A and B are shown apart, each in its own frame.
Chain A
Amino acid sequence: MSHSILAAAAGQMGTGEKVFFWIFGPLALIGAIGMVWARNAVHSALFLVLTMLSLGVFYVLQAGPFIGMVQIIVYTGAIMMLFLFVLMLVGRDSSDALIETLRGQRTAAILIGLGFAGLVCTAIARAMGSVSAKGLDAANQANGGNVQGIAALLFTKYVFAFEVTSALLITAAVGAMILAHVERRRENRLSQVDLMKARFAPGNYPGPKPGPGVYATSDSVATPALLPDGTFADRSVSKILPTRELSGAESAPKGTER
């Protein structure tokens, strides 16, 4: 019963399919163009998500439920979210330098890219007329369904390639460890005594740092506290925060001191 819902019959195109195609086709295209054009990396990633989702819908429409779901789960679900995580970690604001290191490189790249795309598209369009479809229906029915058919191929014809993929995964994991993991060496590890000595050594202040300033006009963590002599207490604001200074309007008498 689930087949009738998931797998539209291959080879015929109903009105619904056409409607969906004309809705999602432009969306996919907009997403692809937006991804390249967006200045903000997060916007770029979200445009890509749009394209990926539209593609997933296409696959399902074309009677390939498995690849459609994999597209949505793996690409939009896992890979793009990972991508966004990395963007957020690196910092949303860090943008690429838009200065060309080679003169005219961007123009040349756009022209050559368009030329290549035109060449491939026209060639494929010309060639597709004579291509005979392989019969997705037959492929889907051979082993009792789309997913079962893929499973049958994975565990018979391509079993060795499938197993070898594990080597790829191990390599990727080892690579991630090599490039990201710094092993702490035993001689670099400080004992409790060392830590205490460092804490009370000259040049370090063992107590807690002063909190940020709390005023009638601002209680932001970025506002420094004032010392008794009226100067800013440097240690009251975290180093990574920009110091927020009171503007002239903010520090002007508000008529409340009577």
Chain B
Amino acid sequence: MTIAQDALQLPHLNYGALAPMLILFGAAAVGVLIEAFVPRRSRYALQLVLGLGALVAALIVVITESGTRELTAGAAIALDGPALFLQGSLAALGIVALLLIAERTLEPGGPFVAAAAVTAGTEEDRTQAAREDAGTEVYPLLLFALGGMMLFVSANDLLTMFVALEVFSLPLYLMCGLARRRRLLSQESAMKYFLLGSFASAFFLFGIAMLYGFSGQISFAGIHSAIQTSTQSTTLLYIGLALVALGLLFKAAAAPFHVWIPDVYQGAPTPITAFMSACTKVAAFGALIRVLYVAFQGTDWDFRPVIGAIAVLTMLVGSILSVTQTDIKRLLAYSSIANAGYILVGVLGLSKDGLSSTLFYLVTYGFTVIAAFGVVTLVRDADGEATHLSRWAGLGRRSPLYAGLFTFLMLAFAGIPLTSGFTGKFAVFAAAIGGGQSWLVVFGVVSSMILAFPYLRVVVMMWLSEPGESTPTVSIPGALTSATLAIGGLATLVLGVVPAPLLDLTNHAAQFIR
């Protein structure tokens, strides 16, 4: 062998700091083994305990490692303040989403299909829809996705980031297609998400090649130093930045890369929609801020107007189109697009405040949106969830408690004071003004006012209409959904009334290392 053995040194791996990811991937692999070897009836309990245990353990490790600030694994992974904060929030939001996913009292067997391979609409499919068992593959897939997201927000070079992007995207594509009801819609959404997601991944990869052509490096520090020192044409840099940003903005659901959101959010099983709208957003924006703040710090003047225009377009498209929606899941999908715009406004603060306000907004929005989709899973009739808005008329008379909770969440989305939605919006707008981007804030406020209309329309419909013949019942949630709703609602309230501890935490965390 000509290769010099002593020249190859395995890079130092800080196993303590990598432990959250390792725990999740390990637990996911164990989950796959459970699928293979454990009898069907005992899988559910085992998977749930394993998933919750792994996520709680990951959260605890992130908290104990919160002082870590180092590059590890050959500088491929940066465990700094934002990375650890985002990993912690991913674990916390993942726990809440897992509770919603594991709910089985609302309908026999829960929201997931028992055998996804059975052709939808056949006789066999109808018999399996009535049976009480359900597939449990979704739990290891969820853990894989969360592990990939944690790597995504802490990757320190573009190659690791791309691998992480694929690792968390693939389970998401699969989970979208596993709905028990309306299976064709669910499969269509999975297919759509897969095709468009593959396109976005290809653009991302193409962008990496361009950036490598410009700088000869794919690490963020290398790209940053090449931007400072390189004398060659910057054309490759801008093509690369545009394509990489396109890949990330697709995941973050910014216009004009948002077209998949309504269809996928509507078709996917509602607990998965909740998970995606909270955790995918955290992961995508976590990666976007790292790319913009760490690698492209020297090109603020070039990308700020472009991404600013995207932010404005995102806010306007999301808010205007949500006015016309008649389906509650699509309404929440468009609202999630508009919220991506608000987060972009915070990102474009391009300062420590911009970073900390973005982190804050991601957490507050995540808890609120999971709780909102949690309420959506409760409003049901014989055919499953009743998502058409007209069916929600008069729901306040039928079930004041859950209608009240949903009203509160809607007010939080609209940004009414004393909710976390207000503090989050206030923080990102303040950061943008601090960064000299007042024009974004003007559009943000205008679109918030437009967006308040659909939210309030739902509220008015629930409380001021008489319940009709077709008003569905609100199911009594089991312990797991109750816990989700309680955690989401409480987080929305507490972060609105006393946001200071979390703001301190984000301020403390808002420092990248390169």
**How many residues belonging to A are interface residues under a CB distance threshold of 8 Å?**
40
Q: Which B residues touch A103, using CB under 8 A?
A: none
Cβ–Cβ contact B163 & A165, under 8 A? yes
| B residues in contact with A151, CB < 8 Å | 3
Q: Does A145 contact B (CB under 8 A)?
A: yes
* Closest A residue by C-beta to B124: A182
Q: Which residues of A contact B18 (CB under 8 A)?
A: 160
How extensive is the interface on chain B, given as a class?
35 or more
Q: Give the contact stretch, choosing among A59-67, A90-98, A120-128, A201-209.
A: A120-128
* In the complex, per-residue mask of A44-65: 1 if CB is within 8 Å of any chain B CB, else 0: 0000000000000000000000
B116 partner, pick from A130, A143, A178, beta carbons under 8 A: A178
**B233 and A134 contact, CB distance less than 8 A:** no
CB-nearest residue of chain B to A135: B216
Interface centre among B151, B231, B236 (most CB of A within 10 A): B236
Stretch of A20-28, A29-37, A166-174 that contacts chain B: A166-174
Asked whether any CB of chain B lies closer than 8 Å to the CB of A164, the reply is yes
Q: Is the CB of B236 within 8 A of A124?
A: yes
CB pair B140 A174 closer than 8 Å = yes
Q: Establish whether residues A168 and B163, one from each chain, have CB atoms under 8 Å apart when the complex forms.
A: yes
Question: Closest Cβ of chain B: how far from A86's Cβ, in Å?
Answer: 16
Chain A residues with CB under 8 Å of B2's CB are: 144-145, 148
Contact A124 B117 (CB under 8 A): no
Q: Does B433 contact A (CB under 8 A)?
A: no
Q: Given the known A-B contacts A157-B74, A168-B170, are A131 and B236 also in contact in the complex, defined by CB atoms under 8 Å?
A: yes
A124 to chain B, nearest CB (A): 7
Is the pair A126, B233 in contact by a Cβ cutoff of 8 Å?
yes
In the bound complex, how far is the Cα of B233 from the Cα of A180, in angstroms?
Answer: 50
Check: A181 CB closer than 8 A to any chain B CB: yes
Chain A window 183-223, contacts with chain B (Cβ cutoff 8 Å), 1 for yes, 0 for no: 10000000000000000000000000000000000000000
Closest to B174 in A: A175
- Is A256 part of the binding interface, using a Cβ–Cβ cutoff of 8 Å? no
Chain A's closest residue to B7 (CB) is A143
B35 / chain A contacts, CB cutoff of 8 Å: 174
Is A129 on the interface with B (CB-CB < 8 A)? yes
B41 to chain A, nearest CB (A): 12
Query: A180 contacts B74, CB within 8 Å?
Result: no
Are B174 and A171 touching (Cβ within 8 A)?
Answer: yes
**Shortest Cβ distance from A46 into chain B, in angstroms?**
23
Most chain A C-beta atoms within 10 Å of own C-beta, residue among B18, B117, B137, B148: B117
Known contacts A148-B3, A181-B117; is A157 also within 8 Å of B11 by CB?
Answer: yes
Question: Contact: B232 with A178, CB < 8 Å?
Answer: no
A134 CA to B216 CA in the complex, in Å? 7
Is residue B337 contacting chain A, with contact meaning CB distance below 8 A?
no
Cβ < 8 Å to A, chain B residues 103-162:
115-118, 135, 137, 140-141, 144, 147-148, 151, 159-160
In this assembly, does B4 line the interface, its C-beta being within 8 Å of a C-beta of chain A? yes
Give chain B residues whose Cβ lies under 8 Å from the Cβ of A120.
239
Find residues 67-107 in chain B having any chain A CB closer than 8 Å to their own CB: 73-77
The answer to whether A156 and B141 have CB atoms under 8 Å apart is no
| Residue B235, interface by CB 8 Å | yes
User: Which B5-42 residues sit within 8 Å CB-CB of chain A?
Assistant: 7-11, 13, 18, 25, 28-29, 32, 35
CA distance in complex: A243, B314 (Å): 59
The answer on a CB contact under 8 Å between B4 and A144 is yes
A159 within 8 Å of B (CB atoms): yes
> How far is it, in angstroms, between the C-alpha of A197 and the C-alpha of B139 when the chains are bound?
42
A156 and B8 contact, CB distance less than 8 A: yes
Is B178 on the interface with A (CB-CB < 8 A)? Answer: yes
Task: Decide: A160 and B7 in contact? CB cutoff 8 A.
Answer: no
A167 in contact with B167 (CB, 8 Å): yes
Given A158-B74, A183-B115, A178 and B178 contact (CB-CB distance below 8 Å): yes
Does B434 touch A at the CB level, under 8 Å?
Answer: no
Q: Residue of A at shortest CB range from B235?
A: A127
Quick check: is A179 within 8 A (CB to CB) of the other chain? yes
Residue-wise, chain B 163-179 has the 8 Å CB interface mask toward A (1 for contact) of 11011001101100110
Chain B, Cβ-Cβ closest to A119: B239
Instruction: Give the residues in chain A near B173, CB-CB below 8 Å.
Output: 175
Separation of A120 and B210 alpha carbons in the complex (Å)? 10
Q: Does A85 contact B (CB under 8 A)?
A: no
A167 with B235: CB separation less than 8 A: no
Per the bound structure, the CA–CA distance linking A152 and B1 in Å amounts to 14
Contact flag A167-B148 (CB < 8 Å), given A157-B74, A160-B13, A178-B137: yes
Identify B137's interface contact among A127, A155, A174, A180, CB under 8 A. Answer: A174
B174 engages A157 (CB within 8 Å): no
A161 touching B76 in the complex, CB below 8 Å, given contacts A134-B216, A143-B7, A167-B148 = yes
Least CB distance from A108 to B in Å reads 15
- Whole-angstrom distance from the CB of A105 to the nearest CB of chain B? 14
The verdict on A171 contacting B137 (CB below 8 Å), with A127-B235, A148-B2 known, is: no
- Complex contact A178–B25 (CB within 8 A): no
B236 touches A127 (CB 8 A): yes
Q: How far is the CB of A3 from chain B (nearest CB, A)?
A: 9
Does residue B213 face the partner (Cβ distance < 8 Å to A)?
Answer: yes
B10 touches which of A124, A145, A155, A164 (Cβ 8 Å): A155
- Once A126-B233, A164-B151, A174-B140 are accepted as A-B contacts, the answer to whether A180 and B117 lie under 8 Å apart by CB is yes
Bound state CA distance, A157 and B71, in angstroms?
Answer: 12
Instruction: Note all chain B residues with C-beta closer than 8 A to A158.
Output: 74, 76, 159-160
Report B201-237 residues with CB < 8 Å from chain A CB. 210, 213-214, 216, 231-233, 235-236
> B232 and A132: CB pair below 8 A?
yes
Known A-B contacts A145-B2, A174-B137; A126 and B235 likewise in contact (beta carbons under 8 Å):
yes
Which interface residue of A145, A168, A175, A178 has the most chain B CB atoms within 10 A?
A178
CB distance from B72 to the nearest CB of A (A): 8
Closest to A134 in B: B216
* Closest A-B pairs by Cβ, 7 of them: A127-B235, A130-B232, A144-B2, A160-B73, A157-B74, A161-B160, A161-B163
List 14 interface pairs A-B (beta carbons < 8 Å), by A numbering. A127-B235, A127-B239, A144-B4, A159-B73, A159-B74, A159-B76, A160-B74, A160-B160, A161-B163, A164-B164, A168-B167, A175-B173, A178-B116, A178-B137
In the complex, besides A160-B74, A164-B151, 5 extra interface pairs with C-beta distance below 8 angstroms are A129-B233, A132-B232, A143-B4, A168-B166, A174-B137
Interface residues of B (CB under 8 A from A): 2-4, 7-11, 13, 18, 25, 28-29, 32, 35, 73-77, 115-118, 135, 137, 140-141, 144, 147-148, 151, 159-160, 163-164, 166-167, 170-171, 173-174, 177-178, 210, 213-214, 216, 231-233, 235-236, 239
